[in-house]
Chain A
Amino acid sequence: MLKIDHLTKHYKETVAINDLDFEVMPGVVTGFLGPNGSGKSTTMRIILGLDHPTKGRATIDGKSYENLKSPLHEVGALLDAKAVHPGRTARNHLRALASSNRIKKSRVDEVLEFVGIASVADKKVGGFSLGMSQRLGIAAALLGDPPVLLFDEPVNGLDPEGIRWIREFFGSLAKEGRTVFVSSHLMSEMALTAEQIIVIGRGSLITQGSVDDLTATAQGSVLVRASDVTTLTKALEAQKAIVQVANDRALTVSGLTSDQVGETAFRAGITVYELTPQRASLEEVFMDLTADSVEYGTSMPGAMPRE
């Protein structure tokens, strides 16, 4: 089990992480979400003992990373796929990692085969595409067959086939009872990959829970297509609903259930052609949650500064 215990990290003046506190349980894929610059990578780096926290600590089964007796057997990590010496071959890179943790040479061939880069194992890593580097990074994480796995933005650079492969792969790792912690800035990706989700923004925890819980708590809306949208809008607004025009014949209504919308239309004598409850997508939930904490947000879609 991975435990983040009131973690705070300052880089000179900037606060990268502020009193972050959560646990990641084994047996499920846990998504770690936040906009760019929200502190995901910093958290990962602290878990791996690369950066020293200003306050608090991160532990793996109660131990901090520096105190692991045989790190690759306890935690596997993919941080930055390109963080490999470009002049070394994939096989030699893995062999060096393996021998530092008493892992057999045959295991290197096994993981190369498993991630599908065995055919380029003796090529220099410098010539690898991002997708191939990602696979090499995953191979490195798997070397020690660890019970805890961390992946920072693993789908970057993968082709659709690779993305599907990695999703199924994460699922199977979790089913084996491992702790799988995957960061991403794409909610849509996590909705398909993760069961549990931890959302952070500006270095603080925003929310955590299962994917289903998160979408359930989000406010849904109702799409209604009717004969007289102008009258219907007035009637709905009288009931404190928020009404948006979807197109000339349809409205998106939030703050009321579909039943209430239907009854309101009936009382106003309006014919309803369509009445569809719309569940907020996880993407929308995420946007709502992190709207205040986007560090490099654009002001308005398509609003280019003009001279």
Chain B
Amino acid sequence: MSSNQTLVNVVKSEWIKFRTVRSSVMGVIVFFVLTLGLGGLISWAIRSHWSHSSVSDRLTFDPVSTSLAGIIFAQFAVGVIGVLFITSEYSSGSIRTTLTAVSNRLRLISAKTIVLAVTLIVVSEVVCFATFELGQSIFKGVVPTASLGTLDVLRSVLLAGAYLTLLTIAGFALGLIVRHSAACISIFVSILLIVPIIFAFLPQSWQNSYSKYLPSELGRSMMSPFPPAYHLGAWNASLILLVYVIVVYVVGVILMIRRDA
């Protein structure tokens, strides 16, 4: 009899699956283009209007988060990558074929998570450092720039990549729970985009005390060298986002194991 299946075998298999469908490859390309393109565009706009900007604008200007601005859009691209990595298996029915080849569901989810997390952390960090450097090179000579030599700047760029990776895993975990691509993407976008808008209608004091716990605001804390007003510090924000993701993930894993495929 042949040798037993191991996690490594399943990781290899999931890696083949990840890179052989258009949705994930396109997702990664869109992620690159959005982050670098928009980050570059916004940085260029700031540079060209710098001479007209007010003193207060100049004083509060943050070259780090401005160069990373494209991430606000890119976070949806990575979320979709995470969601589709599991929901496409359900929409096509291929989850049944997958589970006949990998009957240990925990092993399957672990392998998928490893492929997703490793790919996304690499891609995200590359994208974040690239857009940071692009922004600084656009600012250079006119607008104040930041340097990775400063510890808080380095931390901001690193955590920006971590933020995107955590969102990808959150999208994947949501996919384990909801299983329908469209429904899942809607929920993901709502949490990042609609919930903050609803918060904006709440009394100011509530906003000040609670909106910092929204995933999107946690992201802002993570990728700023100093915390924005009424926001958490970067490490606390990272920790809270990690807890959110773990909660959704654990629910997703339990449902995946217990439900009929």
Contacts and interface: CB of A to CB of B under 8 A. Distances in A.
Contacts of B104: 66
Contact of B94 (A67, A69, A85, A100): A85
A82 B2 CA distance: 29
Nearest to A52: B260
B207 interface: no
Contact of A102 (B2, B16, B17): B2
B140 interface: no
Contacts of B94: 83-85
A50 B23 contact: no
A84 B97 contact: yes
A87 B261 contact: no
A280 to B, nearest CB: 37
B10 A51 contact: no
A103 to B, nearest CB: 8
A80 B103 contact: no
A70 B104 CA distance: 10
Interface stretch (A91-99, A113-121, A233-241): A91-99
B20 A100 contact: no
A96 B20 contact: yes
Contacts, number: 108
Interface stretch (B85-93, B129-137, B188-196): B85-93
Summarize B's interface: helix, strand, loop or mixed: helix
Nearest to A96: B16
B99 A48 contact: yes
Interface in A84-137: 84-89, 92, 95-102
Contacts of B99: 48-50
A99 B12 contact: yes
A77 B96 CA distance: 10
A140 B99 CA distance: 13
B96 A73 contact: no
A83 B99 CA distance: 12
Nearest to B22: A87
Contacts of B16: 92, 95-96, 99
B5 A79 contact: no
Nearest to B260: A51
Nearest to B88: A85
Interface in B191-244: none
B88 A102 contact: no
A71 B99 CA distance: 9
Interface in B113-149: none
Contacts of B103: 48-49, 65-68, 71
A95 B14 CA distance: 10
A305 to B, nearest CB: 34
B4 A70 contact: yes
A104 B225 CA distance: 50
A50 B96 contact: yes
Contact of B97 (A66, A73, A75, A140): A140
B143 to A, nearest CB: 43
A92 B17 CA distance: 8
21 contacts: A48-B99, A48-B100, A49-B100, A50-B99, A50-B260, A51-B261, A52-B260, A65-B103, A66-B104, A71-B5, A71-B103, A72-B100, A83-B92, A85-B17, A85-B88, A85-B89, A88-B17, A92-B20, A97-B13, A99-B16, A100-B14
Given A67-B103, A84-B93, A95-B16, 8 more contacts: A48-B99, A52-B260, A73-B2, A83-B97, A84-B92, A84-B97, A86-B92, A97-B13
